[in-house]
Amino acid sequence: MVHRLDPRVKILATLVLSMTILQADPAKAALLSVFLLGGALLSRLSWRDVAAALRPLVFFFCLLFLLHLFFTDGRPLFPALPVVTMEGLSRGLITTWQFMALVVCAALLTMTTTPSELVSGIERLLRPLRAVRISSYDLAIMVSLALRFVPTLLLEFHRLREAQLSRGANFREGTVMERLRKMSSLASVLVIQTFQRADDLVQAMEGRGYERGPRTYLKELKMGTADYTVMITTLGFAAALCTLSI
């Protein structure tokens, strides 16, 4: 059901929760963890999905924890090992938790929202920027075109690489500098081709009547009961945590 929420609600909720996470003390952290867990359950995300989001950062989490553990002044935890302090342990735990919670929070957003929904959500949230002459429509087109061309350019990169491999290029051997040079020759071809592509794309877009500024969309976002409920619940929860001091 989280999948079907208005992307604006999900983006705002993620921002609000992130700010709350960054100010949390241990008691609030426990409450926030329960709240995030509830969110994950409602999104029907499995443990595996959450773990997949956290796994690439395990090394970073460990490093963060150890740095705090060893480099915080305070009362020693063990008399024999004076560098490890009580304060270090608690700060290490809370900071590591904060980062993990932020990642889970962002994963909840990206795993339940398609890139297009995210772009349209951001576009609508940024509409007030018109006041300072920034067009959210133009920003949205830029972001979605960039996303649209990621797979195309990746494919092109592989094709170029294969073409060079088949002519005897070897990207795996040689010193780092040599390998970098070979890769950069590949990149320059890719850049030139991408400019050519951009040229064609501009003409195609103009041909389809593109002009800067306001446009309409196939899916106009509409806030429903579920959207308001989630928004109010999240805001209420965050406000309660902020005023609460245990």
Partner 1 sequence: MIRIKNLEFRYSAEAPPVLQSVDAQIEDGQYAALIGPNGCGKTTLAKHLNGLLIPTSGDVWVDGMNTKDPSSLRDLRRAVGMVFQNPDNQIVGMTVEEDLSFGPGNLRLPAAEIGRRVEEALHTVGIAGYEKRPTHTLSGCEKRLVAIAGVLAMQPRYLVFDEPTSFLDPAGKRRILNVIRKLNESGIAIIHVTHDMDEIIESDRVLVMTEGRISLAGTTGDVLGRVEELKVMGLGPPQVTELMWRLRQSGQDVQETILTIDEAVKEISSLILRKSGPERNSARSGV
Contact set with partner 1 (CB under 8 A): 114-116, 144-145, 147-148, 151-152, 155, 197, 200-201, 203-211, 214-220
Using DSSP's 3-state secondary structure scheme, residue 83 falls into strand
Taking the least distance from each CB to partner 1, the nearer of 173 and 220 is 220
- Rounded to the nearest whole angstrom, what is the least distance from the CB of residue 29 to partner 1 in the complex? 37
- Rounded to the nearest whole angstrom, what is the least distance from the CB of residue 214 to partner 1 in the complex? 7
Taking the least distance from each CB to partner 1, the nearer of 75 and 208 is 208
Rg for the chain (alpha carbons), in Å? Answer: 24
**75 class by beta-carbon count within 10 Å (0-12 exposed, 13-18 middle, 19+ buried):** exposed
Beta strands in 12-147 (DSSP E): 76-78, 81-85
Taking the least distance from each CB to partner 1, the nearer of 33 and 135 is 135
- Rounded to the nearest whole angstrom, what is the least distance from the CB of residue 85 to partner 1 in the complex? 51
Three-class SS string for 196-236? HHHHHHHHHHHHCCCCCCCCCCCCCCCCCHHHHHHHHHHHH
Taking the least distance from each CB to partner 1, the nearer of 86 and 205 is 205
- Rounded to the nearest whole angstrom, what is the least distance from the CB of residue 22 to partner 1 in the complex? 32
CA distances from 80 to 1, 69, 74, 77, 87 (A): 53, 15, 14, 9, 17
Taking the least distance from each CB to partner 1, the nearer of 27 and 150 is 150
Taking the least distance from each CB to partner 1, the nearer of 72 and 116 is 116
How far apart, in whole angstroms, are the C-alpha atoms of residue 22 and residue 28? 11
If you count them, how many residues does the chain have? 246
- Rounded to the nearest whole angstrom, what is the least distance from the CB of residue 7 to partner 1 in the complex? 14
How far apart, in whole angstroms, are the C-alpha atoms of residue 132 and residue 134? 6
- Rounded to the nearest whole angstrom, what is the least distance from the CB of residue 147 to partner 1 in the complex? 6
